[in-house]
Structure 1
Amino acid sequence: MAYHPQPADVVSGEQYRYALQNFRIAHEKVEEQRRQLEEQERHVAQLRARITLLEGGDDQQKGQQKGGQSVDDFSIKVAASNLEKQINRWAAEVVRTHPGSLDYIRGAILDDISDDTSGIKDVPTTALQVQNLLRHAIAETISEAIINCLIITNSNETNAQLTRIHEFLFAKDPTVAFVWRRQTFVAAIETCSPEMTIQLLQETMPTLLDFFTEGGQTGPPAPLVAIINAAYTFSRMLHGSRSSSAGSNDAFYRAFVPELGSILDATQVELSKRCIRSERGEIDRVGSTIFPGLVKVTRPTPGAHMKKGEVVQTTVRRSQVICECAMGIGG
C-alpha cells in the first residue's frame, strides 16, 4: 500500500506575527497587574502599620532601635541597672587614675552642683566621697539633660522646643502626645554627636569637663562619652517605646535626683549602702545620688477622685543614693 504523507499544519507569516503580538500584549497586561498588586500590598502594609501605631501596638517595621517595641517596668529596671554599673566603673577608674587630684575633682563637682554643699566642704576629701560625687554629677546630667529633655536632633535648641511641644500635647490629650512622641522618635538620631555630647556636659558639669579636657585633651574621655551614649539609648527606650499605659491613659517617664542633704524618703530613695543612723532611728540625709529615680507620669480619665488636668506620678525605680554617714559627712 502506498504511503501518503499528511499535509503539515502551517500558518502564514502574518498569522504568526498576529499571534505573537497578542501574546506580547497579554504578557504585558499580566505584568502590569502584578505590579499593581504589589503596589496595593505595599499600601495595605503601610495602612496596617499606621493603624497599629495609632492603636499603640508594636510597629514591626521600625524594630527595637526605633521604638517599635513595648517597654515594661522590669525591662526599665534591668537597663537602668546596667547603666548604673557602667557609671560606677567610670567613677572608680577616675579616682584610681587621679589619686593626687581628688581635692580638685571634688571642688570641681561641688562647683557644678547647684545644691547646698557646705556640709561636704567642711570634711576631708576621701576617695569614696569623690567616687560617689562623680556618680551624683553624672546622674544629674542624665536626669536633666537627657531623660527629661527629648533628644531628637543634635541641636539643644531644637530638642528643647520639641520637649515643650510634647508637654503642650500631653496637657491637651495624652493619646495625641503618645502618638506624636513615637512618630518623632522614629526619626531620632542614633547617637549624640561629639559636639552635642560636649554641649550637654558644658551645660551640666562645666568645671569637671575642664578638668577632663585639660592637658591637650580635645574632648571628653571615651568612657564618659560611652556613658552619655548609653544614657541616650536608655532615654530613647523610655520615650520611643510603647508603654503599658498606651491609649487613653498614655504615660511618659521623667527622672529625678534628690538634693544633697535632703532627708531620706523611703518612697523616693533606696540606700545602696547600710545606714547606721537610720538603723538607730535617727534622721539621716542624702550624701550623693548614684543613679536617678524614675517616675511614670499619667493623666487618668477625670472621675470622682481625679480632677481634670491632674497627673499621677508612679515611682518605677527609686533613686539610688548613699547617705551622709556612709560618705563620712555630718559626724
Structure 2
Amino acid sequence: MNANMYGQPQPPQDAVSGEQYRYALTNFRIAHEKVEQQRKQLEEQERQVAQLRARIALLEGGSNPSIGGHNGNTVDDFSIKNSASQLDKLINRWAADVIRAPPVPLQDLCAAILNDIVGGLDVAQIEATPMQVQSYLRHAMAESISEGIINCLIVTNSTEANIQLTRIHEHIFARDPTVASVWRRQTFSAAVDTCTPEMSLSILYEQVPELMKKLNGKIPASGGISILESAYAFSRMLHGSGSPSSDAFYRAFVPELGSTLYPRQIELVKRCLKSERGELDRVGATIFPGLVKVSRAATPIPGMEETVQTVVRRAQVICECAMGGSFVPNAPYDIQQLGAGVPMLPIPSMPMGDVLTVPLNGYF
C-alpha cells in the first residue's frame, strides 16, 4: 500500500491500461450495432404485419388503402377530375410535340390517323392543318386509352390474360355486383405496378397500327413520362379502389368523329359558332374520353337484369367549326358502332348526372 508524505496510506486508484480501454470501447460499439440491427428487424416485422392485416381486410371485402383517390379509400369526383386533368395535359403536350417536329409530313400523319379511327375513308387527297392533326392525334390517343386500358382490366402483362380477366369480371358483375366489386379490388391489389414496353406497344399497335408506323414504333411520352403508364395509373385508380356504391364500376366512351354534339355527353373545349347561331354542328375530335359509372338498377324488372349508367365526366370535344372543317363525311351517330363491351350512351335529353337503365344482356 502506498503512503503519502505524512505516512498515511492512499486508496488504490481505478486505472486501466489503454488496451483494456480500447477492448471495452469495441465491445460497447458492437453491442450498440446489434441493438440497432434488432430495432430495424422489429420495424420490418411491424411493417410486414401491417401489410398482412391490410391484405386480410382486402380479402374480407374491405378497402385497399394503397389504391384509391386522394383520401386513400374511395374514388370521388375530385379524384377523377384531378387525375383526368393531369392525363389530359400530358396528351396535349405530346400531340403538340409531334406537330412541332413531325416524323412524316402532316398530311401523311393525318391520313394514318383517319385510317385507324374511321376506316374506309378516302384519304388520298388530304391537306390537313397543324391544328386538325393535333386534334386527331388526341382523338386517337383517347380511343387507345379507352378501349385498350380503361375498358379492359389491365392486371398482367399478358394481353390474353387481361382479356380473360375482363370477361370473368363481366360474368361476375352480371350475377352479383357486390362480389364483382370485391373481386376487382382483390385482383388489382396483385396487379402489375407498370406495363412493360412490350405491353404498351401491343395495345398501341392493336388500336392505332397505322399511326404507330408513322411514329416509328415510339411509345407516346411527354417530358419523359409515358402516356400509357399514366393512363394505366388512372385506370387502376378507377377499378382498384373501393367505392361508396360498391356495385359500380367505370367505363370510358369516345364520341365518334362526325357524330352529333350531345350536350349531356360532351363538353366543348372551344366555342362553337354554329351552335351559337342555332346551326347544326358535329364532333370534330374527342380530345379526352368521358366516363360513365355502371351499376345495377335498384329495383330491376322481374325477369330482366338491368344496369344504370350515369355520366360522371363528359367527353372533352372540339367541334368541326372550331377545327376549321373535317374530313369525315356526314354520318348519323350510331350507338351500336361503339363496339362490344363499350357502354351505351344516354339519350340526348338526359341531363348530366342522370341515369339510363338498359338491359344487362344488351350491355355485355
TM-score (norm 1): 0.77
Structure 1 equivalent of residue 94 of structure 2: 90
Q: CA deviation at 1:73?
A: 1.8
Aligned counterparts of 2:310 and 2:240: Cα–Cα separation in 1: 19
Structure 2 equivalent of residue 321 of structure 1: 317
Instruction: Indicate the SS of the match to 1:58.
Output: coil
Matched, 1:69 2:73: yes
**Pair 1:306–1:243, CA change in 2 (3 A):** farther
**Are the aligned partners of 2:268 and 2:316 in contact in 1 as well (CA < 8 Å)?**
yes
Aligned counterparts of 1:306 and 1:144: Cα–Cα separation in 2: 32
Structure 2 equivalent of residue 256 of structure 1: 253
Tell me the alpha carbon deviations over residues 77-125 of structure 1, each in whole angstroms, 9 at most, x when there is no partner: 111111101100110110011286111110110111136756x887631
Aligned counterparts of 2:154 and 2:58: Cα–Cα separation in 1: 24
Instruction: Indicate the SS of the match to 1:179.
Output: helix
Matching residue's letter, 2:256:
E
Structure 2 equivalent of residue 6 of structure 1: none
Matching residue's letter, 1:58:
S
Tell me the alpha carbon deviations over residues 170-215 of structure 1, each in whole angstroms, 9 at most, x when there is no partner: 00000010000000001101111011011011101111111111xx
**Are the aligned partners of 1:116 and 1:260 in contact in 2 as well (CA < 8 Å)?**
no
Aligned counterparts of 2:58 and 2:206: Cα–Cα separation in 1: 39
Matched, 1:143 2:131: no
**Are the aligned partners of 1:68 and 1:240 in contact in 2 as well (CA < 8 Å)?**
no
- Higher RCO (CA 8 Å, separation ≥ 6 residues): 1
**The structure with more helix, counted as a fraction of residues:** 1
**Are the aligned partners of 2:68 and 2:240 in contact in 1 as well (CA < 8 Å)?**
no
Tell me the alpha carbon deviations over residues 254-311 of structure 1, each in whole angstroms, 9 at most, x when there is no partner: 00001110010001011111000000111110010000010000003325x7874110
Instruction: Indicate the SS of the match to 1:168.
Output: helix
**RMSD between aligned alpha carbons?**
3.0
Aligned counterparts of 1:99 and 1:179: Cα–Cα separation in 2: 46
**Pair 1:137–1:207, CA change in 2 (3 A):** same
Structure 1 equivalent of residue 280 of structure 2: 283
Aligned counterparts of 1:99 and 1:261: Cα–Cα separation in 2: 27
Q: CA deviation at 1:53?
A: 5.5
Aligned counterparts of 1:123 and 1:282: Cα–Cα separation in 2: 26
**Are the aligned partners of 2:94 and 2:221 in contact in 1 as well (CA < 8 Å)?**
no
Q: Aligned to 1:211, which of 201, 210, 214?
A: 214
**Pair 1:314–1:306, CA change in 2 (3 A):** farther
Instruction: Indicate the SS of the match to 1:189.
Output: coil
Q: CA deviation at 1:320?
A: 0.5
Tell me the alpha carbon deviations over residues 25-48 of structure 1, each in whole angstroms, 9 at most, x when there is no partner: xxxxxxxxxxxxx99x96x99578
Aligned length: 280
TM-score (norm 2): 0.70
**Are the aligned partners of 2:104 and 2:214 in contact in 1 as well (CA < 8 Å)?**
no
Structure 2 equivalent of residue 185 of structure 1: 188
Matching residue's letter, 1:243:
S
Aligned counterparts of 1:107 and 1:188: Cα–Cα separation in 2: 37
Instruction: Indicate the SS of the match to 2:170.
Output: helix
Q: CA deviation at 1:49?
A: 5.7
Superposition map of 1:152-171 within 5 A: 152-171=155-174
**Are the aligned partners of 2:220 and 2:227 in contact in 1 as well (CA < 8 Å)?**
no
Structure 1 equivalent of residue 128 of structure 2: 125
Give 5+ residue unaligned stretches, structure 2: 1-44, 328-364
Matching residue's letter, 1:192:
C
Structure 1 equivalent of residue 232 of structure 2: 232
**Are the aligned partners of 2:255 and 2:315 in contact in 1 as well (CA < 8 Å)?**
yes
Q: Aligned to 2:63, which of 48, 58, 62?
A: 58
Instruction: Indicate the SS of the match to 1:254.
Output: strand
**Pair 1:279–1:130, CA change in 2 (3 A):** same
Give 5+ residue unaligned stretches, structure 1: 1-37
Aligned counterparts of 1:239 and 1:261: Cα–Cα separation in 2: 31
Matching residue's letter, 1:244:
P
Instruction: Indicate the SS of the match to 1:71.
Output: coil
Matching residue's letter, 1:252:
F
Aligned counterparts of 1:72 and 1:199: Cα–Cα separation in 2: 31
